[in-house]
């Protein structure tokens, strides 16, 4: 594998929010000859990849990765890199319906790893999450933090999936780069706090229901930064590792849910919005399994020579403006 250029890349979940931006970035920077997106369009949209359809470099395969099928397996033959984004990213769903997360996040990752093994794929990038840390006692939280005690089923299956990637890297030589994302925001996002606030305020501009007590404080990274970090690591770290490596991908700062609400209200040009806080637990979480404080230590990522262009505040404001179509 050449560091600067890839022959064939697969993006699972490439019609989703982050995956489609990875696709745009690889194409925009001419980093791959052929890119195959495999997606069942459960939460993703064909609109997110529309500009690539019918291009020589692009293949779209509509398939459900929960079901092993020779047609999608065949794409993995001798592929340089698999960027595995397919998942159900809704942490809240995992509380009420753990089966969905077990299947969409763990079974799917197992099937993708099996496809890598059988197709002799060289490397895998796995989209993991800050939720593997649970309620971390060290903040900012470094990659080597222990013990890893996720408090949501989503976090638990992400951690289990990380271990599958690690084992496949050691046993079958599929190099694994595990990226633990903070909250990723930006255009095309279909879920999360900003989308939720905008939708609610469009329905009722005078009242905003806020899940939790509003003091939940987390780190947010714009998807442009998330994608640039992911590809940066994929191109630089994978050639240097023999089995696997893990990187936090986030920001140096954090922002409260109440501050996000204030930015959304201001950018929507509203005033006199009545905030109604709905804490789901005695300590003010938005739902059971919601991590209240999340800030990742990104010094390992920065030591490789990458840093975010936008902090959490700038990323939130830009995302709100992009979702409101005030900015592109
Ligand atoms: P998304 O829902 O926009 O994208 C996921 C994509 O996977 C969608 O296009 C969906 O249709 C596809 N998919 C789901 N199940 C599938 C299946 N069984 N077969 C084929 N395709 C399937 O989510 P996202 O926010 O872009 O997240 C991408 C990855 O990053 C996920 O693994 C998510 O867990 C992880 N992650 C996201 C965030 C975030 O803040 N967005 C934070 C941490 C980790």
- Taking the CA of residue 89 as reference, the ligand 1 atom at the shortest distance is 34
CATH of the domain at 99: 3.40.50.720
Same domain, 107 and 201: no
Q: Is residue 241 part of a domain?
A: yes
Q: Is residue 90 part of a domain?
A: yes
Local mean pLDDT, 10-residue blocks, the chain (328 residues): 77 98 98 98 97 98 96 95 94 83 96 97 97 98 98 96 98 98 96 96 98 98 98 95 97 98 98 96 95 98 97 98 94
Which residue among 12, 15, 16, 92 has the greatest number of ligand 1 atoms within 8 angstroms of its CB, and so is best to mutate?
A: 16
Q: Can you tell me the distance from the alpha carbon of 199 to that of 202, in angstroms, rounded to the nearest whole number?
A: 5
Q: Is residue 302 part of a domain?
A: no
| Structure confidence at residue 44 (pLDDT) | 97
Same domain, 174 and 42: yes
- Look at the pTM and tell me if it is higher than 0.85: yes
Same domain, 234 and 272: no
Beta strands 274-278 and 207-211 are: parallel
What Cα–Cα distance (Å) separates residue 125 from each residue in 82, 146, 226?
6, 22, 13
Same domain, 158 and 286: no
Q: Is residue 315 part of a domain?
A: yes
| Structure confidence at residue 5 (pLDDT) | 82
Same domain, 166 and 87: yes
Domain hosting residue 200, numbered range: 189-219+253-294+310-323
Catalytic: 133? no
Q: Is residue 205 part of a domain?
A: yes
Same domain, 101 and 157: yes
Atom 35 of ligand 1, nearest CA residue: 127
Same domain, 114 and 170: yes
- Taking the CA of residue 188 as reference, the ligand 1 atom at the shortest distance is 3
| Structure confidence at residue 4 (pLDDT) | 67
CATH of the domain at 258: 3.90.25.10
**Ligand 1 centroid to residue 99 C-alpha, Å:** 16
Same domain, 233 and 266: no
| Structure confidence at residue 3 (pLDDT) | 52
The total domain count for the chain is: 2
Tell how far CA 92 is from the center of its chain. Answer: 15
Same domain, 123 and 271: no
Q: Is residue 103 part of a domain?
A: yes
The stretches of 138-242 forming alpha helices (DSSP H) are: 153-172, 193-203, 223-236
Same domain, 156 and 280: no
- Taking the CA of residue 16 as reference, the ligand 1 atom at the shortest distance is 9
| Structure confidence at residue 215 (pLDDT) | 98
- Whether the CB-CB separation of 39 and 62 falls below 8 Å is answered with yes
Same domain, 60 and 155: yes
Q: Is residue 266 part of a domain?
A: yes
Q: Is residue 49 part of a domain?
A: yes
Same domain, 154 and 259: no
Specify the length of the chain in residues: 328
């Amino acid at each position: 594998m050449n560091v600067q250029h890839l022959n064939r890349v697969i993006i699972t979940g490439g019609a989703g929010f982050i995956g489609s931006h990875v696709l745009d970035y690889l194409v925009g920077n001419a980093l791959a000859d052929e890119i195959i997106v495999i997606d069942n369009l459960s939460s993703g949209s064909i609109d997110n990849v529309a500009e690539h359809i019918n291009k020589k470099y692009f293949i779209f395969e509509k398939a459900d990765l929960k079901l092993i099928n020779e047609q999608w397996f065949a794409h993995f033959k001798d592929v340089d890199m698999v960027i595995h984004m397919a998942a159900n990213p809704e942490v809240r769903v995992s509380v009420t319906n753990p089966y969905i997360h077990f299947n969409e996040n763990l079974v799917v990752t197992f099937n993708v790893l099996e496809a890598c093994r059988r197709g002799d794929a060289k490397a895998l990038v796995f989209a993991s999450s800050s939720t593997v840390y649970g309620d971390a006692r060290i903040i900012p939280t470094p990659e080597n933090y222990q013990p890893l005690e996720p408090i949501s089923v989503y976090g638990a299956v992400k951690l289990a999936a990380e271990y599958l990637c690690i084992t496949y890297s050691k046993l079958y030589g599929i190099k694994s780069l595990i990226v633990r994302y903070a909250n990723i925001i930006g255009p095309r996002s279909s879920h999360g706090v900003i989308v939720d606030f905008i939708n609610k305020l469009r329905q009722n501009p005078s009242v905003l229901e806020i899940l939790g007590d509003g003091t939940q404080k987390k780190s947010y990274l714009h998807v442009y930064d998330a994608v640039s970090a992911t590809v940066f690591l994929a191109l630089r770290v994978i050639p240097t590792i023999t089995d696997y490596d893990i990187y936090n991908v986030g920001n140096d700062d954090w922002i409260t849910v109440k501050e996000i609400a204030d930015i959304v209200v201001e950018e929507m040009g509203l005033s006199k919005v009545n905030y109604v806080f709905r804490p789901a637990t005695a300590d003010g979480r938005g739902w059971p399994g919601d991590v209240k404080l999340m800030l990742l230590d990104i010094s390992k990522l920065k030591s490789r020579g990458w840093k975010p262009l936008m902090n959490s505040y700038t990323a939130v404001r830009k995302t709100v403006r992009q979702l409101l179509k005030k900015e592109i």
